[in-house]
Structure 1
Amino acid sequence: MGTIFLLIALVFEISFAVYSIITKQNHKKLKNGIRIGLFVAFVILTLTSVIVWSLRWVLLAILLFLLAVKGTVSLIRKNTTPKKYKTSKVVLKTIFMVVATVIAFVPAIVFPQHPSPKVTGKYGVGTATYTYVDKNRVEEFTDKGDNRFVNVEFWYPKNADGKYPLLVFSHGASGIKVSNASTYTELASRGYVVVSIDHPYHSFYTKSDDGTVATINSDYNREITNLNTEGVYTNEELNELIQKWMKLRTDDMNFVIDTILEKAKSDKNPVYQRINTDKIGVFGHSMGGAASVWLGRERDDIDAVVNIDAPFFSELVYKKENDSFIANSKAYTTPIFNIYSDDVWGQLDSTPIYVANQLNNKQFKDAFTTHFKGAKHLSFTDLPLFSPILANMLQGGKADIDPYYCIETENDLILKFFDDELKRIGHFNPKETY
């Protein structure tokens, strides 16, 4: 919608400039009237929800408002001697308006208005955000000596009775806790309490209850970038980085789970009182998926794991004598469902860090595995819906799969897996390829 409106605006500005040049007149009254009309039309479209108001429209609204005010003032002024027509002035004003219009439309184009993925459950969904402070850990990314804080957001069944399984989500390498909001919403609508974690300094941006802001750490960001560049790290160096990344991630997830379990015992907050602490699942995308798999091996109270497009870091054993990785020889007993894009599927048999993910790994003989053909790494998040331009830039091109089909199918499969493992509803039997 933003692109269409931008094209209309640019056609108007350029056409009016051509008309003025041909007729050698400014047509000031006509232009002012049209601009007032455009602002009125924008307001009407917003009030009738053709344009769904959000921050993406703020710059455009300000521009249209200022032009409408200027036009109104000009029209109600007493008649004065008309300004002499100058082609150069018309051209300069047109160039200025074209640049201003493009800038005003940038948010609406980068973050286009889009329908939400379908929600199929009977429950309304409530949300709540909290900041948990871990008094047993000092923040390693700063030198202030502050304790580590972790921001979380809950999606839960609203106006519902009973208790529901807890699902804990961890975002990707530089993601944010709302990266898969459509997934959390669908799960909550079907009777789950979902908590998503912002891992400070691993997340792109997070803000705590007291206003503290943490953005992605530059050193960590460089490490992640180098991970995807062949030849930068030896396997030994990569192993050290993996251990460091996973310790922070799993420490955060353990802390959040333990905090929630403690609060569920005595905190009267209805969010915590809706949680069935005997049923816990973990899931995550990319690095968050790797951390979820790690937790599924470490904790006895994890009943199910969904790994979205991630390597099994917990299952890698580094062999210094030949600088290589091999797969852990101990069976993985927690039920697990793996979802892969083309980006990862093509690396399972060729990239060292995916050696444990290989389909012939006997330690995962009972694992469910699905491949989404045509999907790229970020297809399993809401980003391709929220900002197709950013998604394509970050993942190196457009995915061949329809983004709504991908995310809605993913959400449905995750729901059915957790239903089977945590609620004993249905029989989970996914296809090998979607």
Structure 2
Amino acid sequence: AKSYEEQEAVFRQSNELMPKLLVESPRIWADDISFLIDELENINQDNSIFAGKMNLEQIGVFGMSMGGIASGQVCITDKRCMAGINMDGGIYGDFLDTKISQPFMFMSSERYRGYDNIFSDHVNNSVYTITIHGADHYNFHDLSILDPSFDRLGEIDGYRMLKIINDYTLAFFNKHLKEIDSGLLNGPSSEYPEVEIKVK
């Protein structure tokens, strides 16, 4: 297993070696998300048929891979984001040197097993690090169900993976946006033996 310093070096070296566009993408995507929130606020005003229909005081953001990194970026740059989830995205860009102040979850495949401490250290709030055993990166993608023969999937069943993602995502946002605690995030669950969870 890699040491804490080696894990951090992996992300910093990757950040330096990746094409500039990929390094900047989370910022661009985060700006897009903030723009969308701006527009939702506009159509939630009195002169819109949607006026008062949306609760924009409890916004949660989540994404997979680069979208997961962008979710963290939004939490850093836009305080309207009240909670976020990074699905198998690691930490790159501003994420490396700036801590998130909102509740945050890292939901990862086995490639990030053992990275709990470095992930947790980038959040100054409740933080959950989840490893899904049997999952590879693309199990977080629709391919897990649409094309089970895809050779970059882990061994976990696609529908099982979907249930895990849905249930843990819902439990997280319900707890931190609606103050509804299912207890699922408190520790290991007999219903989900393939899920390893650490809470800090």
Name the counterpart of 2:69. 290
Displacement of 1:385 = 1.2
Could you tell me whether the CA contact under 8 Å between 1:293 and 1:314 is conserved in 2? Answer: no
CA deviations over 1:37-96 (Å, ceiling 9, x no partner)? xxxxxxxxxxxxxxxxxxxxxxxxxxxxxxxxxxxxxxxxxxxxxxxxxxxxxxxxxxxx
Displacement of 1:249 = 1.0
Partner AA of 1:418 in structure 2: F
Alignment partner of 1:302 out of 81, 97, 105: 81
Q: Is 2:189 aligned against 1:429?
A: no
Displacement of 1:413 = 0.7
Identify if the C-alpha distance between structure 1 residues 433 and 262 changes in structure 2 by more than 3 Å, giving closer, same or farther: same
Name the counterpart of 1:338. 106
Secondary structure of the equivalent of 1:433? strand
User: Which structure is higher in RCO with an 8 Å CA cutoff and minimum separation 6?
Assistant: 2
Write the distance in 2 (CA, Å) between the matches of 1:340 and 1:234.
18
**Structure 1 regions of 5+ residues with no counterpart?**
1-232, 317-326, 350-356
Write the distance in 2 (CA, Å) between the matches of 1:370 and 1:263.
36
Identical positions, percent: 27
How many residue pairs are counted as aligned between the two chains? 177
Alignment partner of 1:250 out of 9, 25, 30: 30
Write the distance in 2 (CA, Å) between the matches of 1:412 and 1:430.
14
Write the distance in 2 (CA, Å) between the matches of 1:246 and 1:358.
19
**Structure 2 regions of 5+ residues with no counterpart?**
1-12, 189-194
Partner AA of 2:92 in structure 1: F
Partner AA of 2:112 in structure 1: V
Correspondence list, 1:17-56, <5 A: none
Name the counterpart of 2:160. 405
Displacement of 1:405 = 1.5
Alignment partner of 1:263 out of 43, 46, 49: 43
Secondary structure of the equivalent of 1:388? coil
What RMSD, in angstroms, separates the aligned Cα atoms of the two structures?
A: 2.9
Displacement of 1:388 = 1.8
Write the distance in 2 (CA, Å) between the matches of 1:239 and 1:251.
19
Identify if the C-alpha distance between structure 1 residues 332 and 248 changes in structure 2 by more than 3 Å, giving closer, same or farther: closer
Displacement of 1:264 = 1.1
Secondary structure of the equivalent of 1:247? helix
Q: Which TM-score applies when normalising by structure 2?
A: 0.75
Partner AA of 1:254 in structure 2: S
Displacement of 1:248 = 2.2
Write the distance in 1 (CA, Å) between the matches of 2:14 and 2:104.
30
Displacement of 1:362 = 6.4
Partner AA of 1:405 in structure 2: R
Write the distance in 2 (CA, Å) between the matches of 1:365 and 1:264.
29
Could you tell me whether the CA contact under 8 Å between 2:72 and 2:100 is conserved in 1? Answer: no
Displacement of 1:315 = 4.2
Displacement of 1:333 = 1.3
Secondary structure of the equivalent of 1:278? coil
Displacement of 1:234 = 7.7
Secondary structure of the equivalent of 2:171? helix
Identify if the C-alpha distance between structure 1 residues 364 and 373 changes in structure 2 by more than 3 Å, giving closer, same or farther: farther
Larger radius of gyration: 1
Correspondence list, 1:175-214, <5 A: none
Partner AA of 2:171 in structure 1: K
Write the distance in 2 (CA, Å) between the matches of 1:360 and 1:306.
13
Displacement of 1:235 = 5.2
Write the distance in 2 (CA, Å) between the matches of 1:241 and 1:292.
17
Identify if the C-alpha distance between structure 1 residues 285 and 298 changes in structure 2 by more than 3 Å, giving closer, same or farther: same
Q: Which TM-score applies when normalising by structure 1?
A: 0.37
Displacement of 1:267 = 2.1
Identify if the C-alpha distance between structure 1 residues 313 and 361 changes in structure 2 by more than 3 Å, giving closer, same or farther: same
Alignment partner of 1:381 out of 128, 141, 152: 141
Identify if the C-alpha distance between structure 1 residues 301 and 401 changes in structure 2 by more than 3 Å, giving closer, same or farther: same
Correspondence list, 1:105-184, <5 A: none
